[in-house]
Amino acid sequence: MSSNQYYDEETETALEKVKRLFKENKVVSAGVGLTIAAFIGASYGVRTGRREFAQHMFRARVGFQFFTIAALLGGGMFYDKKRKEERLALEQTRIALEDEQKNV
């Protein structure tokens, strides 16, 4: 997330949060897209009677779901750490400004 973007966790709606998280973590978006594509491919294979293809697609779907969950967890930890650092920096800036105003 770039420093010029601001969001308020307390007033942010669920849909806004999902949109923000998908923009922040592009790997999760890719994983979701690949999972959907594999599911559609498996559905196509089942409807056309191509069992082997459908089986490969179902297995790929499971793999992509695992990839997506790993990306969610990894990205969540990364962005949580990043947000904590940003909050700490903002708090230090606020304290420095307050000290500066007291000294004036």
| pLDDT tens sequence across 29-88 | 899 999 999 999 999 999 999 999 999 999 999 999 999 999 988 888 887 888 888 888
Query: Is 76 within the bounds of a domain?
Result: yes
Instruction: Note down the domain range covering 31.
Output: 19-103
Q: Is 76 exposed, middle or buried (0-12, 13-18, 19+ CB in 10 A)?
A: middle
Cα–Cα distance measured from residue 101 to residue 95, given in angstroms and rounded to the nearest whole number: 10
> Does the residue 84 lie in any domain?
yes
Measured at the alpha carbon of residue 63, what is the angle toward residues 59 and 64, in degrees to the nearest 5? 115
Tell me, yes or no, whether 29 lies in a domain.
yes
For residue 65, being part of any structural domain is answered with: yes
More confident residue, 25 or 51: 51
The pTM of the full predicted model, rounded to 2 decimals, is: 0.64
Per-residue CA distances from 86 to 4, 81, 82, 89, 91 (Å)? 12, 9, 6, 5, 9
Give me the number of domains the chain comprises.
1
Is there a domain that residue 83 lies in?
yes
Is residue 70 domain-resident?
Answer: yes
Give the pair of three-digit tokens for residue 44: 């196509």
Quick check: is 37 in a domain? Answer: yes
Q: Does any domain span residue 13?
A: no
